[in-house]
Amino acid sequence: MNDMTPTREEREAKLQGMGCKRKRVEDVRFTQGRGQYVDDLKLPGMLFGDFVRSTYAHARIKKIDASAALALPGVKAVLTAADLKPLNLHYMPTLAGDVQAVLADEKVLFQGQEVAFVIAEDRYVAADAAELVEVEYEELPPLVDPFQAMAEDAPLLREDIKDKTEGAHGPRKHYNHIFDWQIGDKTGTDAAFQGADVTIKEMLSYHRTHPSPLETCQCVASMDKIRGELTLWGTFQAPHVIRTVASMLAGIPEHKVHVIAPDIGGGFGNKVGAYPGYICSVVASIVLGVPVKWVEDRMENLSTTSFARDYHMTTELAATKDGKITAMRVHVLADHGAFDACADPSKWPAGFMNICTGSYDIPVAHLAVDGVYTNKAPGGVAYRCSFRVTEAVYAIERAIEILAQKLGMDSAELRMKNFIKAEQFPYQSALGWEYDSGDYHTAMRKALDTVGYDALRAEQTAKRDAFRRGETREIMGIGISFFTEIVGAGPTRNCDILGIGMFDSAEIRIHPTGGVIARMGTKSQGQGHETTYAQIIATELGIPADDIMIEEGNTDTAPYGLGTYGSRSTPVAGAATAVAARKIKAKAQMIAAHMLEVHHDDVEFDIDGFRVKGLPEKRKSMKEIVWAAYNQPPPNMEPGLEAVSYYDPPNMTYPFGAYLCVMDIDVDTGVYKVRRFYALDDCGTRINPMIIEGQVHGGLTEAFAVAMGQEIRYDEQGNVMGASFMDFFLPTAVETPVWETDHTVTPSPHHPIGAKGVGESPHVGGVPCFSNAVNDAFAFLGSTHIQMPHDHWRIWKAARALGA
Amino acid sequence: MSKVHVKLTVNGKAHEALVEPRTLLVHFLREDLNLTGAHVGCETGHCGACTVDIDGMSVKSCTMFAVQADGADILTIEGVAAPDGTLHALQESFREMHGLQCGYCTPGMIVRAHRLLQENPRPTEAEIRAGIAGNLCRCTGYQNIVKAIQHAAATLAGEPFQEAAE
Amino acid sequence: MIPANFAYHRPSTIEEAVGLLASLGEEARALAGGFSLIPMMKLRLAAPEALVDLSRIAALKGVREEGPEIVVGAMTTQHQLMSDPIIAAKVPLIPETSAVIADPQIRYRGTLGGNVANGDPGNDMPAVMMTLDATYVLAGPNGTRSVKARGFYEGAYFTAAEPGEILTEIRIPTPAPGAGYAYEKLKRKVGDYATAAAAVQLTMKASTVETIAIGLTNVSETPLLAQDAMTILAGSRLEPEVVDRAVAAAEAITNPASDGRGPAEYRTAMAGIMLRRALARAASRAQG
Are both B64 and B130 inside the same structural domain?
no
Candidate from A123, A669, A729 with C-beta closest to C270: A669
CATH label of the domain that carries residue B68 = 3.10.20.30
Query: Residue B135: which domain range?
Result: 89-157
The verdict on a CB contact (< 8 Å) between A796 and C262 is yes
Say whether A760 is catalytic.
yes
At residue B165 the predicted structure's pLDDT band, cuts being 50, 70 and 90, is very low
**Selected residue of C2, C5, C8 to mutate for chain B interface (largest B Cβ count, 10 A):** C8
* Angle between helices A411-418 and A440-451 in degrees, nearest 10: 160
Q: What distance in Å separates the CA atoms of residue A706 and residue A695, rounded to the nearest whole number? A: 16
Q: Are C206 and C147 in contact (CB under 8 A)?
A: no
Q: What's the pLDDT score for residue C212?
A: 98
Q: Are C111 and C75 in contact (CB under 8 A)?
A: yes
CB atoms within 10 A of CB A766: 32
At residue A1 the predicted structure's pLDDT band, cuts being 50, 70 and 90, is very low
Architecture of domain C180-285: 2-Layer Sandwich (3.30)
Which residue among the candidates A158, A172, A309, A384 is catalytic per the annotation? Answer: A384
Q: What distance in Å separates the CA atoms of residue A765 and residue A747, rounded to the nearest whole number? A: 19
Residue C98 identity (one-letter amino acid):
S
Are both B110 and B68 inside the same structural domain?
no
Which SS3 state, helix, strand or coil, does residue C198 take?
Answer: strand
DSSP annotation of A58 reads S
> CA neighbours within 13 Å on the CB side: how many for A626?
18
The alpha carbon of A315 is separated from its chain's Cα centroid by a whole number of angstroms, namely: 24
Q: What's the pLDDT score for residue B166?
A: 44
The alpha carbon of C274 is separated from its chain's Cα centroid by a whole number of angstroms, namely: 17
The correct CATH number of C7-53 out of 3.20.20.70, 1.20.1260.10, 3.30.43.10, 3.90.550.10 is: 3.30.43.10
Residue from A253, A251, A367 nearest A314 by CA:
A367
DSSP annotation of A6 reads P
CATH of the domain spanning C58-173: 3.30.465.10
Are both B129 and B105 inside the same structural domain?
yes
Residue A177 identity (one-letter amino acid):
H
DSSP code per residue over A314-370? EEEEEE-TTS-EEEEEEEEEEE-TTS----S-TT-TTTTGGGTTTTB--SEEEEEEE
Cis peptide bond N-terminal to A789, omega within 30:
yes
DSSP code per residue over A421-444? PGGG-SEE-TTS-EE----HHHHH
Distance in Å from the first CA to the final CA of chain B:
56
Residue from A252, A196, A197 nearest A225 by CA:
A252
Which SS3 state, helix, strand or coil, does residue A774 take?
Answer: helix
The verdict on a CB contact (< 8 Å) between C104 and B116 is yes
DSSP annotation of C174 reads P
DSSP annotation of A409 reads -
Taking the CA of residue A735 and the nearest CA in chain C, the distance in Å comes to 7
**pLDDT tens, residue by residue, B146-157:** 999 999 999 999
Which SS3 state, helix, strand or coil, does residue A799 take?
Answer: helix
Residue A616 contacts by C-beta under 8 Å, 6 or more apart in sequence?
A606
Are both B93 and B148 inside the same structural domain?
yes
**pLDDT tens, residue by residue, B24-53:** 999 999 999 999 999 999 999 999 999 999
- Please, which chains are in contact with A (at least 3 CB pairs closer than 8 A)? B, C
**Distances B138 to A296, B106, B112, C121 between C-alpha atoms, Å:** 18, 11, 17, 30
Are both B112 and B47 inside the same structural domain?
no
The pTM (predicted TM-score) of the whole model is 0.97
Residue from A759, A694, A488 nearest B103 by CA:
A694
Say whether A237 is catalytic.
yes
Q: Looking at the predicted complex, does its ipTM rise above 0.85? A: yes
**pLDDT tens, residue by residue, C241-276:** 999 999 999 999 999 999 999 999 999 999 999 999
Are both B27 and B47 inside the same structural domain?
yes
Q: Which residues pair with A170 in a beta bridge?
A: A167
Q: Does residue B6 have a pLDDT over 70?
A: yes
Q: What's the pLDDT score for residue A3?
A: 64
Average pLDDT for B44-73: 97
Q: Which residues pair with A435 in a beta bridge?
A: A427
Domain boundaries, chain C: 7-53, 58-173, 180-285
* CB contacts, 8 Å: B106 with chain A: 30-31, 33, 35
Q: Does residue A197 have a pLDDT over 70?
A: yes
- Please, which chains are in contact with B (at least 3 CB pairs closer than 8 A)? A, C
Please give the interface size between A and C, counted as residue pairs whose CB atoms are below 8 Å apart.
62
For every residue of A682-724, which 3-state class applies, written as one string?
Answer: ECECCCCHHHHHHHHHHHHHHHHHHHHCCCCEECCCCCEECCC
* CB contacts, 8 Å: A215 with chain B: 39, 41, 102, 104
The alpha carbon of A272 is separated from its chain's Cα centroid by a whole number of angstroms, namely: 9
**pLDDT tens, residue by residue, A427-444:** 999 999 999 999 999 999
Taking the CA of residue B57 and the nearest CA in chain C, the distance in Å comes to 6
What is the residue-averaged pLDDT of chain B? 96
Rounded to the nearest 10 degrees, how much is the dihedral formed by the CA atoms of B51, B55, B56, B61? -10
Residue B79 contacts by C-beta under 8 Å, 6 or more apart in sequence?
B10, B11, B12
Domain end point (choices B22, B55, B78): B78
> CA neighbours within 13 Å on the CB side: how many for A357?
30
Handedness of CA C29, C35, C36, C42 (dihedral sign): positive
Domain end point (choices B58, B78, B98): B78
Determine the longest span between alpha carbons in chain A, in angstroms.
89
Q: Where are the alpha helices (DSSP H) in B35-166?
A: 89-96, 106-119, 125-131, 143-157
- Pairing type for strands C50-53 and C28-31 reads parallel
Residue B147 lies in a domain: yes
Q: What distance in Å separates the CA atoms of residue A759 and residue A699, rounded to the nearest whole number? A: 7
Q: Does residue A343 have a pLDDT over 90?
A: no
Based on the structure, what is the number of domains in chain B?
2
Q: Are B89 and B156 in contact (CB under 8 A)?
A: yes
Residue from A603, A600, A585 nearest A539 by CA:
A585
The chain A residue lying nearest B89, using CA atoms, is: A31
Degrees, nearest 5: CA angle A751-A394-A710: 110
Candidate from B67, B70, B134 with C-beta closest to C103: B134
Are both B106 and B148 inside the same structural domain?
yes
Q: Does residue B1 have a pLDDT over 80?
A: no
Are both B56 and B113 inside the same structural domain?
no
Q: What's the pLDDT score for residue C190?
A: 97
Are both B39 and B10 inside the same structural domain?
yes
Q: Are A503 and A647 in contact (CB under 8 A)?
A: yes
Least confident of A51-55, A67-71, A720-724, B159-163: B159-163
Q: Are A218 and A278 in contact (CB under 8 A)?
A: no
Q: What distance in Å separates the CA atoms of residue A346 and residue A352, rounded to the nearest whole number? A: 12
CATH label of the domain that carries residue B112 = 1.10.150.120
Which SS3 state, helix, strand or coil, does residue A583 take?
Answer: helix
Are both B62 and B102 inside the same structural domain?
no
Residue from A92, A94, A46, A41 nearest A261 by CA:
A41
Residue B84 lies in a domain: no
Average pLDDT for A504-520: 97
Residues of C near A (Cβ–Cβ under 8 Å) read 1-2, 4-5, 43-44, 103, 186, 188-193, 195, 259-263, 266, 269-270, 273
Residue A242 dihedral angles phi and psi, to the nearest 5°: -60, -40
* CB contacts, 8 Å: C5 with chain B: 1, 20-22
Q: What's the pLDDT score for residue B2?
A: 86
Q: Are A158 and A147 in contact (CB under 8 A)?
A: no
Residue B30 lies in a domain: yes
Q: Does residue A143 have a pLDDT over 90?
A: yes
**Distances A650 to A492, B147, C20, C185 between C-alpha atoms, Å:** 9, 41, 74, 56
DSSP code per residue over A11-35? HHHHHT-TTS-PPPSTHHHHTTT--
Domain end point (choices B48, B78, B108): B78
Buried b (16+ CB within 10 A) or exposed e, C85-101: eebeebbbbbbbbbeeb
- Pairing type for strands C158-159 and C166-173 reads unpaired
Buried b (16+ CB within 10 A) or exposed e, A689-715: ebbbbbbbbbbbbbbbbbbbbbbbbbe
Ranges under pLDDT 50 in chain C: none
The chain C residue lying nearest A789, using CA atoms, is: C260
Residue B162 lies in a domain: no
Candidate from A126, A297, A727 with C-beta closest to C260: A727
Q: Does residue A664 have a pLDDT over 80?
A: yes
Q: Given its phi and psi angles, is residue A301 left (phi above 0), alpha (psi -120 to 50 degrees) or beta? A: alpha
Average pLDDT for A605-615: 97
Residue A354 contacts by C-beta under 8 Å, 6 or more apart in sequence?
A183, A184, A367, A392, A429, A431, A432, A433
Average pLDDT for A699-713: 98
What is the residue-averaged pLDDT of chain A? 97
Residue B127 lies in a domain: yes
The domains located in chain A, with CATH, are 8-35+504-647 (3.30.365.10), 38-140+216-264+271-303 (3.90.1170.50), 307-489+652-801 (3.30.365.10)
Are both B56 and B25 inside the same structural domain?
yes
Q: What's the pLDDT score for residue A218?
A: 98
Q: What distance in Å separates the CA atoms of residue A163 and residue A373, rounded to the nearest whole number? A: 15
Are both B36 and B101 inside the same structural domain?
no
Cis peptide bond N-terminal to A426, omega within 30:
yes
Residue A152 contacts by C-beta under 8 Å, 6 or more apart in sequence?
none
**pLDDT tens, residue by residue, A525-584:** 999 999 999 999 999 999 999 999 999 999 999 999 999 998 899 999 999 999 999 999
**pLDDT tens, residue by residue, A785-795:** 999 999 999 99
Q: Are A115 and A104 in contact (CB under 8 A)?
A: yes
The chain B residue lying nearest C79, using CA atoms, is: B57
